[in-house]
Amino acid sequence: MIGNMTGAWLCAGLALLVTSGCHAWRERPVTAPDASAVTGTVRLTTNHGTRRLTLERVTLGSDSVVGRLVDAADRTGQAWVPDNKITRGERAAVAVADIGLLEEQTESATRTVLLLGFLAALAFAVAFLAVGGPNSG
């Protein structure tokens, strides 16, 4: 059985790991009047809805979106199927005319608070059971 201190450190580490992934996708305009750098991550879907790319270190131009590939997927029916043939980190450019939806990755305070509340309740339940529950005495 894991000791109390080890369990506490394990829960704290898990909480930090999971909360670092609390994000949401927020739609943003596809075009920019002047070239502008976006330091975060964007996800774009083609205007036919058949291909989705995730790019980081993006520059939005008046005619294209340029960045480094993180992920790509193709739509098959209702599901997105990952494209394992892409080279992550490779430069990619997509014409603005081909983009149907552009989303920017943002931090989600609501999701973070909900997740932390869930983890706190889980930690309390584990601690309660570790000391023997209501019948220990």
Q: What is the pLDDT, as a whole number, of residue 2?
A: 46
- The answer to whether 121 touches 113, Cβ cutoff 8 Å, is no
Segment (H or E) for 60? strand 51-60
- Torsion (CA) 57, 31, 42, 118 in degrees, nearest 10: 130
Q: Which pTM was predicted?
A: 0.62
User: Is the predicted pLDDT of residue 100 greater than 80, yes or no?
Assistant: yes
Give CA–CA dist 129/27, Å, rounded: 44
- The answer to whether 43 touches 72, Cβ cutoff 8 Å, is no
DSSP 115: H
Domains in the chain: boundaries: 1-22+108-132, 24-106
The tokens for 122 are 């889980």
Give CA–CA dist 120/6, Å, rounded: 16
Q: What is the pLDDT, as a whole number, of residue 1?
A: 45
Q: What is the pLDDT, as a whole number, of residue 111?
A: 54
Interval 13-35 mean pLDDT: 66
Which class is 24-106 in CATH?
A: mainly beta
